Structure 1
Amino acid sequence: MPDIQTTQTGGRVAVMDLGTNTFHLLIAENIADTFNEIFKLTEPVKLGEGGINKGMIQPAPFGRGMAAMQKFEALIDEYGVTNVKAIATSAIRSAKNGQDFIARVKQATGIEITTINGAQEATYIYHGIAASGCLSGTNALIMDIGGGSVEFIICNDDEILWKQSFEMGAARLMDRFHQTDPIPLASIKAMTAYLNGKLADLFKAAIKHRPKVLIGSSGAFESFAEVIELSKGRNFDLKTTKSYEFDTDELLDLIEMLAKSTHTKREATKGIIPVRVDMIVTASLLTIYIMQKLGIADVLMSTYSLKEGVMAEMLGI
């Protein structure tokens, strides 16, 4: 990797977002009241594999998580990082051996992991989305579909009006409902009934605050955008994209295709990274469910999420 000199505006900081499917590393520095991204890496650890609904990190994903953290340690040393914040979310906070993972990482790398609750996670996501420029004076619903949890935030560019985290992320939904591929209609109906029961608080908040826009926070929404753009033969670089506005019909057509697809078809679809090949089905079904249930047709994607929100706080932006 090239040696990039640190500017005189301040030291480099690193944020690690340790999610259920992926571990993210973002290294940046403060320049002119914003952050300048120096380096970014995503490691597909699949920490919830084989045990997401049993509350245990299984040996293989435990090992992948440790390997990713050791790689991150080497990178923060290489890039001369002076301040590090590692944030653990759903899989680690809910696993019976989550604290063991945290202790092992500390012992092996010296990195201290902070476990945050769902409300804190939602707040960081809001600040990350705000930094992307997606918010306006119109009330919006942010949806961040992780592997372990889903955060919903009703907000505008001035404030958070309501927020809640639900332990029903794409990996948990897949483990519960997507056992056969393509996913059977009976499983879709069962998932719909499950969501009807779980999301009553969201529906009440939506009636009160009436969000007009759905903003998907990175993750599966990045894949939706990439698949749509690549299918048109366009160059689409997520690294230079902060936000993306979906054509509603294109998005609905894509979701229908994914819901009917096989693993082999999804694997061969340009724009779907390997770690999302299977979980994108339940993420797609959750997306169309929310659109239809709340009557929202305008959908945006932000590539900024939790790690950018944490970064903004660390740099005082």
Structure 2
Amino acid sequence: MSTALAQRSSPTPQTPPAGSAKGGGAPAAHQMAKAAAVRPRAGWQNRKSYAAIDLGTNNCRLLIARPSADGFVVVDAFSRIVRLGEGLAGTGRISDAAIERAIAALTICAEKLKRRHVTLARSVATEACRRASNGNDFIERVYRETGIALDIITAQEEARLAVLGCHALLEPGDGPALIFDIGGGSTELVLVDTSTETPRILDWQSAPWGVVSLTESEIFDPESPSERLLAYDRMRTRVKDAFQALASRLPRDADDIRLLGTSGTVTTLASIHLELPRYDRQAIDGLIVPAEAMRGISSRLAAMSIAERRQLPCIGNERADLVVAGCAILECILDIWPAKSLGVADRGIREGILRGLMDRDGSAR
């Protein structure tokens, strides 16, 4: 399957929802990529503000930016863990508590959109709303109470936006690259050809396991390290089975393969690798980490109790119960795509949305 990144729908931002369908260190090139997530057309002096909201199964994230000569300048940002998909696997519905958390976060986003005089925005919702039987009802309530029109995007569109937002951080090379996004309710894997300026999607898969859904598949915190590792192995087996479809189609004789991840899992593990006392985006975005180092950190975290993980910088209370599921997913990705190193991106869907909005608006001008 081949999909050009330029092929996309043209959403009407912030219009009422109507029947939304479910559907090591960085080299110099990476340091340059950190400065700009998107490059507007030459001579474009548009100073309007653009916004992207990504409501995932675990996080609500907002990014507001203005185009600049070498990319875009972020003027405001917001991120909050809302756990929209909490309990979804068991009930098939978004819970009342999760809805309230999400609306509280989106209310803050709406205030920021107004304060920053945003003229063009796109807001998307992903796996939790795709799965939930009350997903459309939730979207309609969000619009009534906040004025934010969430678009429930397909898994394919989610993968496309993630690639569009972070592909600039891929290590230089001629071989194929696998870009992945470990979310709260699903994981997107995208095989891309980078022989052209804009990567071309060769193949992709959305697996129904993310850090929230996989964590909830193991309903207890075992007392001993050996029991915890057994639970970890069970999670890896579930993910391995889900990845089989794409794994069977990946090229086996390719040289110079590259791997790039965008998610809280990879940024958290990269922070542990660098032994950071607190999270630092400038140190993480564009970092290249040996794959074996990430495997070692994953195994170590899997043997720890939740209480022990809470004591680690860059994990804390919010990620202590979810990070092991992310480690299981990451190790399965390394199994099917055995790259020697892993690129880490603290960017993705929001940056992909902003690039699309700015490109489209520039074309209109």
TM over 0.5: yes
1:55 deviates by 1.9
Q: CA deviation at 1:131?
A: 3.9
Q: Which moved more, 1:217-226 or 1:247-256?
A: 247-256
Q: In the TM superposition, what is the alpha-carbon distance from 1:236 to its structure 2 partner?
A: 6.0
- Of 266, 271, 275, the residue aligned with 1:230 is 275
Corresponding position of 2:343: 300
Comparing 211-220 and 82-91, the one that deviates more? 211-220
Alignment match, 2:213: 172
**Residue pair 1:161, 1:209 contacting (<8 A) in 2 also:** no
| Shift of residue 129, structure 1, vs aligned partner | 1.4
Do 2:93 and 2:132's aligned partners in 1 also have CA atoms closer than 8 Å? yes
Kept after mapping to 1: 8 A contact 2:89/2:213: yes
Which residue does 1:246 correspond to in 2? 289
Cα deviations across residues 38-85 of structure 1 (Å, max 9, x unaligned)?
111101101111224432111111100011111111111111111121
Cα distance 1:209–1:278, how it changes in 2: closer, same or farther (>3 A)?
Answer: farther
4+ residue segments displaced more than 6 Å = none
Code of the aligned partner of 1:109 = T
- Residue of structure 2 in register with 1:51 after alignment: 88
1:118-133 alignment runs, 5 A limit: 118-132=155-169
1:131, 1:304 within 8 Å by CA — same for their partners in 2?
Answer: no
Please say which of residues 53-62 and 87-96 is displaced more in the overlay: 53-62
User: 1:13 is matched with which residue?
Assistant: 50
Structure 2: distance between partners of 1:38 and 1:108: 25
Q: Secondary structure at the match of 2:139?
A: helix
Question: Given the two structures, how large is their TM-score scaled by the length of structure 1?
Answer: 0.90
**Aligned twin of 2:307:** 264
Tell me what 2:41 maps to. none
Alignment of 1:201 onto 2:245? yes
SS at match of 1:161: strand
Answer with 240-249 or 68-77: which moved more. Answer: 240-249
Gaps of 5+ in 2: 1-43, 361-365
2:329 paired residue number? 286
Which residue does the alignment assign to 1:186? Answer: 230
Question: Is the 8 Å Cα contact of residues 244 and 302 (structure 1) preserved in structure 2?
Answer: yes
Name the amino acid aligned to 2:315.
Answer: I
Matched residue type, 2:280: D
Partners of 2:253 and 2:263 in 1: CA distance: 24
- Once residues 87 and 61 of structure 2 are traced to their aligned partners in structure 1, the CA distance between those partners, rounded to angstroms, is 21
- Alpha-carbon spacing, 1:241–1:28, altered in 2? closer, same or farther (3 Å): farther
Task: State the distance in 2 between where 1:298 and 1:8 align.
Answer: 38
Structure 2 residue 259 is the aligned partner of structure 1 residue 214: yes
TM-score of the pair, normalised by structure 2: 0.78
Identity %: 27
Structure 1, gaps ≥5 residues long: 1-6
Once the 2 structures are TM-superposed, how far is the Cα of residue 135 of structure 1 from its aligned partner? 6.1
Equivalent of residue 146 in structure 2, options 109, 131, 135: 109
- Change in 2 beyond 3 A, CA 1:268/1:18: same
1:277 partner letter: A
Label 1:144 to 1:189 Cα distance change in 2 as closer, same or farther (>3 A): same
Instruction: Look up the match of 2:204.
Output: 163
SS of the residue aligned with 2:184?
coil
State the match for 1:3 in structure 2: none
Q: 1:121 to 1:135 in 2, by over 3 A?
A: farther
Asked if the contact 1:87/1:114 (under 8 Å) is kept, the reply is yes
